[in-house]
Structure 1
Amino acid sequence: MISGVLLDLAGVIYDGEEVIPGATDAVARLREAGLLIRFVSNTTRSNKQALLQRLAGLGLYATSDELFTPAQAAREWLDKHDRSPYLLVHPDLALDFHDLAGGPQKALVVGDAGEAFDYQTLNAAFRELVTGAEFLGLAPNRTFQDVDGKLSLDAGAFIAALEFASQRRATILGKPSPEFFLSALASMNCPKAKAVMVGDDAETDVAGALQAGLSKAVLVRTGKYRRGDDTRFQPSPTVTVDDISAAADWILAARNI
Structure 2
Amino acid sequence: MVKGVLLDLSGVLYEGNRPVAGAATAVARLREAGLPVRFVTNSTRSPRRKLLEKLRGMGFELADEELFTPARATCDLLAGKGLAAHLLIHPDLAEDFEGHGDAEAPGAVVVGDAGEYFTYDALNSAFRLLAEGAEFYALASNRNFFDADGALSIDVGAFVAALEYASEQRAEVLGKPAKAFFLVALDDMGVAPEDAAMVGDDVEADVAGALRAGVGRAVLVRTGKYRTGDEGRGDPAPSHVADDLSGAVEWLLS
For this structure pair, what is the TM-score category when the shorter chain's length is used for normalisation?
over 0.9
Q: Say if 1:207 and 1:234, in contact at 8 Å, map to a contact too.
A: yes
Q: Distance in 2 between matches of 1:90 and 1:62?
A: 25
Cα distance 1:105–1:125, how it changes in 2: closer, same or farther (>3 A)? closer
Partner residue, 1:65: 65
Write the letter of the residue equivalent to 1:112.
D
Paired residue secondary structure (1:144): strand
Q: Distance in 2 between matches of 1:152 and 1:16?
A: 12
Partner residue, 2:20: 20
Partner residue, 1:136: 137
Aligned-residue identity in percent: 55
Partner residue, 1:208: 209
Kindly provide the CA deviation profile for residues 66-100 of structure 1, in whole angstroms up to 9, marking residues without a partner as x: 00000000001100111101100011111101133
2:3 is the alignment partner of 1:3:
yes
Paired residue secondary structure (1:224): coil
Partner residue, 2:193: 192
- Deviation of 1:124 (Å): 0.6
Write the letter of the residue equivalent to 2:175.
G
Q: Say if 1:83 and 1:104, in contact at 8 Å, map to a contact too.
A: no
- Deviation of 1:61 (Å): 2.2
- Deviation of 1:101 (Å): 7.2
Paired residue secondary structure (1:120): helix
Query: How many corresponding residue pairs?
Result: 253
Q: Distance in 2 between matches of 1:147 and 1:33?
A: 32
**Counterparts of 1:114-129 in structure 2 under 5 Å?**
114-129=115-130
Q: Say if 1:197 and 1:218, in contact at 8 Å, map to a contact too.
A: yes
- Deviation of 1:42 (Å): 0.3
Paired residue secondary structure (1:236): coil
Partner residue, 2:83: 83
Q: Say if 2:87 and 2:101, in contact at 8 Å, map to a contact too.
A: no
Q: Say if 2:16 and 2:149, in contact at 8 Å, map to a contact too.
A: no
Q: Which 4+ residue blocks in structure 1 deviate beyond 6 angstroms? A: none
- Deviation of 1:233 (Å): 2.1
Q: Say if 2:47 and 2:96, in contact at 8 Å, map to a contact too.
A: yes
- Deviation of 1:43 (Å): 0.3
Partner residue, 2:226: 225
TM-score normalised by structure 1 residue count: 0.96
Partner residue, 1:154: 155
Q: Unaligned regions of 5+ residues in structure 2, if any?
A: none
Q: Say if 2:136 and 2:172, in contact at 8 Å, map to a contact too.
A: yes
